[in-house]
Amino acid sequence: MKIRSAKVIVTCPGRNLVTLKIETDEGVYGIGDATLNGREKSVVSYLEDHVIPTLIGKDPQRIEDIWQYLYRGAYWRRGPVGMTAIAAVDVALWDIKAKLAGMPLYQLLGGKSREKVMVYGHATGLDIDSCLEEVRKHVELGYKAVRVQCGIPGIPTTYGVSKEAGKPYEPADSALPSENVWSTEKYLNHVPELFAAVRKEFGEDLHILHDVHHRLTPIQAARLGKEVEKFHLFWLEDCTPVENQSSYELIRKHTTTPLAIGEIFNSLSDCQELIQNQLIDYIRATITHAGGITNVRRIADFASIFHVKTGFHGATDLSPICMGAALHFDTWVPNFGIQEHMPHTKETDLVFPHAYEFKDGFFTPGDVPGHGVDIDEELAAKYPYKPAYLPVNRLEDGTLWNW
Ligand code: CO
């Protein structure tokens, strides 16, 4: 069996999504997600100009060898563009292998470790009361875990908060990034009240998550983690940037609030120190940005030795293909923690027909051979690429800060 052809499909049924489709000489095909939010075209070029020509004629069943060929063979290692391209190939090949086997992908990984996959949804509001309303909607839908974000008095815009309830909060619908304003002081003084209100309203059983989006220094993160311990968050996410992994030692010394990070990681070395020193509790590396199922499996296995669980990124900057592949992975991985879920637009769900299903706060990946997600190419062509970027963030005095 040989890879006969491969192509990249770019579509924007709400957000830009990049898909790699690999076809074999026996008619079986597989698809992988290659979406890198705000930098989509760099991965398109990486695949079309540098990867696809080397795939033609290769045996699609040699997933590991092709992974090594693209990783070691490129000389350049790691990095979001290259690792997203490798992930797209890897997921498409796992899709092909599972279709050839006539099995859902989770069977090839080792079978089910659980019956269903717990997900968390996003509740955001301009203030605490409107956030509580959004939490209620999630609870009514059956969610057992909700990420809560609310506006901060005195700051015109806040990360994770949309201008209108239920509307996406990113990316800016313009050809250039918009600019937000941030005050760490105002945020730190306000956000504990949000968790207090959620606990008061919904009791102790609901899992509460919160994303700080890299806005704090380690000592500020330590203060926040310590102050909100009594609300026992499921996790505090991305509380500080982590180019220097040992900065988490300082946070860890001060708080028992569980910590999660990794949605922008691409490799095991990006999180090795955090994991082996037990500085985090959940690793958020995604299949799409961390080199595919082949590589995320290495990260998850390593993490399991150190009691670190998975909590994959799953926002709508990833296509339904990533969600499908992640749900198969989550169904198998022994050290599963939770899976993020943000509903795609109706148009996106129609472009990517899928076998996965939501019920009462949990997903199941479906039982069709492969990862269970397909692409309707004709429909995809109706939504051409539109430049869109995440906002950039500045402190009140104009200093550029972390988004
Ligand atoms: Co996040």
Query: Do 91 and 124 have their domain in common?
Result: no
- Kindly give the distance from the C-alpha atom of residue 290 to the centroid of ligand 1, in angstroms, as a whole number: 15
Query: Do 341 and 211 have their domain in common?
Result: yes
For the annotated catalytic residues, the residue numbers are 159, 213
Residue 159 is predicted with a pLDDT of 73
Which CATH number belongs to the domain containing residue 314 in this structure? 3.20.20.120
Residue 349 is predicted with a pLDDT of 98
Minimal CA–CA distance to 259: which of 218, 299, 287?
218
Asked if pLDDT for residue 216 goes beyond 70, the answer is yes
Sign for the pseudo-dihedral over CA of 285, 351, 110, 292: negative
Residue type at position 118: M
SS3 24: strand
Q: Over the chain, what is the mean pLDDT?
A: 96
Query: Do 209 and 328 have their domain in common?
Result: yes
For residue 146 the two structure tokens come to: 């909700």
The Cα 79–Cα 83 span in angstroms is: 6
Query: Do 76 and 121 have their domain in common?
Result: no
The Cα 132–Cα 206 span in angstroms is: 13
Minimal CA–CA distance to 238: which of 222, 255, 261?
261
Minimal CA–CA distance to 364: which of 80, 92, 105?
105
Minimal CA–CA distance to 12: which of 30, 38, 32?
38
Query: Do 39 and 131 have their domain in common?
Result: no
Residue 118 Cα distances to 55, 138, 189, 288, 294, angstroms: 36, 13, 31, 20, 23
Domain range for 211: 108-366
396 in any annotated domain: no
Residue 175 is predicted with a pLDDT of 79
375 in any annotated domain: no
Domain boundary among 42, 77, 104: 104
CB 109 within 8 A of CB 328: yes
18 in any annotated domain: yes
The separation between CA 328 and the C-alpha centre of its own chain, rounded to angstroms, equals 15
Helix 320-332 vs helix 80-101: angle between axes, to the nearest 10 degrees?
70
Helix 63-71 vs helix 80-101: angle between axes, to the nearest 10 degrees?
170
Query: Do 84 and 225 have their domain in common?
Result: no
Query: What percent of the chain is predicted at pLDDT more than 90?
Result: 93
- Kindly give the distance from the C-alpha atom of residue 91 to the centroid of ligand 1, in angstroms, as a whole number: 22
38 in any annotated domain: yes
Asked if pLDDT for residue 67 goes beyond 90, the answer is yes
- Kindly give the distance from the C-alpha atom of residue 95 to the centroid of ligand 1, in angstroms, as a whole number: 27
Q: What's the pLDDT tens digit per position in 352-391?
A: 999 999 999 999 999 999 999 999 999 999 999 999 998 9
Query: Do 98 and 180 have their domain in common?
Result: no
394 in any annotated domain: no
Query: Do 221 and 337 have their domain in common?
Result: yes
Residue 172 is predicted with a pLDDT of 59
Question: Which residues are registered as beta bridge partners of 125?
Answer: 150
Backbone region of residue 291 per phi and psi (left: phi > 0; alpha: psi in -120 to 50; beta: other values):
left
- Kindly give the distance from the C-alpha atom of residue 175 to the centroid of ligand 1, in angstroms, as a whole number: 23
- Kindly give the distance from the C-alpha atom of residue 348 to the centroid of ligand 1, in angstroms, as a whole number: 21
Q: How many domains is the chain built from?
A: 2
Query: Do 230 and 122 have their domain in common?
Result: yes
- Kindly give the distance from the C-alpha atom of residue 54 to the centroid of ligand 1, in angstroms, as a whole number: 34
- Kindly give the distance from the C-alpha atom of residue 369 to the centroid of ligand 1, in angstroms, as a whole number: 31
For residue 272 the two structure tokens come to: 């090795």
Domain boundary among 88, 104, 120: 104
Asked if pLDDT for residue 271 goes beyond 80, the answer is yes
227 in any annotated domain: yes
The Cα 292–Cα 276 span in angstroms is: 22
Backbone region of residue 57 per phi and psi (left: phi > 0; alpha: psi in -120 to 50; beta: other values):
left
Asked if pLDDT for residue 164 goes beyond 90, the answer is no
Query: Do 170 and 287 have their domain in common?
Result: yes
Which CATH number belongs to the domain containing residue 50 in this structure? 3.30.390.10
- Kindly give the distance from the C-alpha atom of residue 4 to the centroid of ligand 1, in angstroms, as a whole number: 38
Longest dimension (CA), the chain: 62
Residue 161 is predicted with a pLDDT of 76
376 in any annotated domain: no
- Kindly give the distance from the C-alpha atom of residue 340 to the centroid of ligand 1, in angstroms, as a whole number: 9
State the pLDDT confidence band at 315, using cuts at 50, 70 and 90.
very high
Q: What is the full DSSP assignment across 114-166?
A: -SSEEEEEEEEESSHHHHHHHHHHHHHHT-SEEEEEE--TT-S--TT--SSTT
Please tell me the least confidently modeled range out of 62-71, 127-136, 211-220, 385-394.
Answer: 385-394
Residue 204 is predicted with a pLDDT of 96
CB 28 within 8 A of CB 20: no
- Kindly give the distance from the C-alpha atom of residue 353 to the centroid of ligand 1, in angstroms, as a whole number: 26
Domain boundary among 59, 78, 104: 104
State the pLDDT confidence band at 100, using cuts at 50, 70 and 90.
very high
Average pLDDT over residues 177-200: 96
- Kindly give the distance from the C-alpha atom of residue 159 to the centroid of ligand 1, in angstroms, as a whole number: 10
Query: Do 200 and 325 have their domain in common?
Result: yes
Give the phi and the psi of residue 159 in degrees, each rounded to 5.
-55, 135
- Kindly give the distance from the C-alpha atom of residue 37 to the centroid of ligand 1, in angstroms, as a whole number: 13
pTM greater than 0.85 = yes
Q: What's the pLDDT tens digit per position in 274-293?
A: 999 999 999 999 999 999 99
Cis bond upstream, residue 387 (ω within 30): no
CB 67 within 8 A of CB 344: no
128 in any annotated domain: yes
State the pLDDT confidence band at 156, using cuts at 50, 70 and 90.
confident
The Cα 209–Cα 145 span in angstroms is: 7
Residue 207 Cα distances to 136, 148, 284, angstroms: 13, 10, 17
- Kindly give the distance from the C-alpha atom of residue 206 to the centroid of ligand 1, in angstroms, as a whole number: 19
Query: Do 80 and 136 have their domain in common?
Result: no
Enumerate residues 6+ apart whose C-beta is below 8 A from 205: 144
The Cα 16–Cα 178 span in angstroms is: 17
